[in-house]
A and B are shown apart, each in its own frame.
Chain A
């Protein structure tokens, strides 16, 4: 990564801002409020194509790929401008652009990269098949079996909570290829075509009524050995790349979105007196804003660490836990302040981020951050044990 040139970064900011003014349909939120799945998919595809064409979908990709090779400072500017313009989030392609692409770029063979990275730019949709009914926080205990038969693995088992599974063309799949050693040792990482024979997807209805994730049943599914990422039984290491791919720039964009969403919250709280409405809520707003500032500070420190190539476990865990907490506090305050209005069943704003103004839905969605990607409790374990040096719980199987 090259050192950022401040004037080039400023110029990029102007470019992105100008581009967003032209490219972004100001009415998109209205269009996406209560949109059907087909409308959502069409809209995501359209936005993805515009971003790819402008080179703003893949600033985090390696140099040599379209849009890639941007410095972290440039990536940051693009993320900040997306947040500032309140642009739609690329939900349909999120796993493709981050989890799949970053894992492929680090671990993929030339053939695997050539097969998938251009396809991702064309709109290939990916999902992540890691979690299982009995392997959530304790992911390494996963049991979906893959047995090798010549040039294919035959896979049997079940995955769950897989976001976008029913839209996906491909799946980042963790399977067990060895049961003899420690649980982390016998895992392999496969790239599975979702159209393979024996794959059944069943969407799961979420608390918001939406169906974003689903179950994947695998019944004698054949995956070519050439679709394995990394060596056999080395999949756990590969998976770490996937699991950390949303840290950094994604969390920066989300914390900037939260910062801009203060306006939505302030507008909600403002009574007719122009003072910011109810005393109690106004004071709580100030406290939430103090925490958003702290969050932005923490994220800036994380970015600086990443930039210097010395990202610490501590900072990443602090940021994940703190973002989840502040997002809950923000949406909780909005929900309480909105009162009965927020209790009326209202359509979701698809791809609208975490502070859409459908406050009950936003509040419910804030649990995504405290559960998925390493729950708050898991982050606390990491901080206590690996940052504060407190003893591991002897009773917990590793």
Chain B
């Protein structure tokens, strides 16, 4: 197949900004907005052309997610993008089942999001009647969940289970971050049917899970950076208007320096994300490690910016009316996706130390 023609990330961002602004002005129902996003090709963006997608590089996907992250919304784009990346990989390896589910996701017939991608979290031992996957972002609006599990016979597996009428029981949960649409997911292992639910096992599953995690990390990082940049910009605009003691609060050096630090953190985290995306697009073996590191940097920057933005707004920032808290909540919830920060750090450490000791140098 020919190389897909490349979209210009800047143009894509402009278009996305327009689309989201219009959606907000028209107060589009979430359901309708999701379909609009699908029509715009946002979920198909990073999916290979072989699998019916637009075949754009990760750099472009991250640029889109950055734009979307500027106005936190309830759409499951991050999670669905990671799920689609896994299905794409499996479908290219010949899985008709994965292709079918991917088609359904891209066309809007199914809403496929990803659950936990750490197989250790879901041991599928025969005698366990059900397992609780915990609160999964966007499970409340999902028709299917793709997640990793460990089973006695097959080792690591990647499962895709249907909600209604399938083996999953999903109970919507309210979260502080209203954009995540959490659902508590229980898997009824008795009604698990390997023929329809097993996407991959053993090595194949490992590879898909690894890719899914990396895409999830990059997507969260992009979204986080968009949020961080937007809230920092808005805060500085506000600071240039707000007058106290006869001058704008933007002229107080104590505040200027904090803004300068935050801007530096955002610029550095974005540089890390660009490098990680480039590694991913070049298919380099260290790409997942870089993605994980990029997510750490972006997550820390988002939390720091959201924190400081609220503080520097004063009382108005503490109101429900003002947008500050939406970013604050989204920044904090992002840090918990895919396991605790500590658990992620431990997982990365293992890989990182291996790399450092093995003298496998991350090339420039």
Task: Determine whether the beta carbon of A298 is less than 8 Å from that of B267.
Answer: yes
Asked whether A390 and B250 contact (CB < 8 A) given A293-B275, A380-B257, the answer is yes
Which single member of A80, A266, A381 contacts B364 (CB below 8 Å)? A80
Task: Say which size band chain B's interface belongs to.
Answer: 35 or more
Q: Could you tell me the distance between the alpha carbons of A389 and B240 in the complex, rounded to whole angstroms?
A: 9
Residue B153, interface by CB 8 Å: no
B 234-258 contacts with A by CB, 8 A: 236, 239-240, 247-248, 250-251, 253, 256-257
Does B345 interact with chain A (Cβ within 8 Å)? yes
Q: Does A388 contact B260, Cβ atoms closer than 8 Å? A: yes
Kindly provide the distance from the CB of A318 to the nearest chain B CB, expressed in whole angstroms.
5
Residues of B contacting A377 in the complex (Cβ-Cβ under 8 angstroms): 257
B260 to A296, Cβ gap below 8 A? no
Q: Could you give 6 example pairs across A and B, Cβ below 8 Å?
A: A291-B297, A321-B260, A381-B257, A383-B264, A390-B239, A394-B251
CB atoms of A294 and B260 under 8 A apart: no
Out of A262, A293, A383, name the residue touching B263 (CB < 8 Å).
A383
Instruction: Report the minimal beta-carbon distance from A44 to chain B, rounded to whole angstroms.
Output: 27
Of A276, A390, A393, the contact of B349 (CB 8 Å cutoff): A276
Complex Cα–Cα for A295 and B350 (A): 22
**With A287-B296, A298-B268 known to touch, is A293 a contact of B346 (CB < 8 Å)?**
no
B352 within 8 A of A: yes
Distance of A389 Cα from B259 Cα, bound (Å): 11
Known: A294-B297, A380-B260. A282 touches B346 (CB 8 A): yes
Are the C-beta atoms of A390 and B251 separated by less than 8 Å? yes
Q: Quick check: B364 and A314 within 8 Å, CB to CB? A: no
Residues of chain B touching chain A, judged by Cβ–Cβ distance below 8 Å, are: 236, 239-240, 247-248, 250-251, 253, 256-257, 259-261, 263-264, 267-276, 290, 293-294, 296-297, 300, 342, 345-346, 348-350, 352-353, 356-357, 359, 361-362, 364
Measured CB to CB, the nearest residue on chain B to A299 is B271
Check A297/B256 contact, CB under 8 A, given A266-B353, A283-B346.
no
Contact A388 B263 (CB under 8 A): yes
> What is A's interface to B at a CB cutoff of 8 Å?
76, 80, 84, 256, 259-260, 262-263, 266, 270, 275-276, 279, 282-283, 285-287, 289-291, 293-298, 300-301, 314-315, 317-318, 321-322, 325, 377, 379-385, 387-394
Chain A residue numbers with a CB within 8 Å of B293 are 286, 289-290, 293
Given contacts A259-B362, A389-B240, A391-B248, 19 further A-B contacts (CB under 8 A): A76-B364, A263-B359, A282-B346, A286-B293, A287-B300, A290-B294, A290-B297, A293-B276, A298-B267, A300-B271, A301-B274, A325-B264, A377-B257, A380-B260, A381-B256, A389-B236, A391-B240, A391-B247, A391-B250
Cβ-defined partner of A300 (8 Å) among B239, B260, B275, B290: B275
- Output the nearest chain A residue to B295 by Cβ-Cβ distance: A290
Q: Are B361 and A384 in contact (CB under 8 A)?
A: no
Query: Which of chain A's residues have a CB closer than 8 A to the CB of B346?
Result: 279, 282-283
User: Complex formed: what's the CA distance from A313 to B259 in Å?
Assistant: 16
Verify A286–B263 contact, CB threshold 8 A: no
- The answer to whether B352 touches A286, judged by C-beta atoms less than 8 angstroms apart, is yes
**Which of A263, A383, A393 sits near B260, CB closer than 8 Å?**
A383
Contact A318 B364 (CB under 8 A): no
Whether the Cβ atoms of A256 and B364 lie closer than 8 Å is: yes
Asked if A294 contacts B353 (CB within 8 A), the reply is no
Contact A318 B267 (CB under 8 A): yes
Contacts A294-B271, A314-B267; A263 near B236 (Cβ below 8 A): no
Q: In whole angstroms, what is the CA distance A377 to B362 when docked?
A: 32
Contact status B259-A390, CB under 8 Å: yes
B261 with A296: CB separation less than 8 A: no
Contact A380/B256 with A276-B349, A286-B348 known, Cβ cut-off 8 Å? yes
Chain A residues within an 8 Å CB radius of B361: 84, 259-260
Tell me the nearest residue of chain A to B345, going by C-beta: A283
On whether the beta carbons of B268 and A289 are closer than 8 Å, the reply is no
Given contacts A84-B361, A263-B357, A390-B251, contact A287 B345 (CB under 8 A): yes
* A293/B297 contact (C-beta < 8 A), A80-B364, A266-B356, A279-B346 known: yes
Please judge, given known A-B contacts A259-B362, A390-B259, whether A294 and B250 are in contact too, CB under 8 Å: no
Cβ of B240 and Cβ of A390 under 8 Å apart? yes
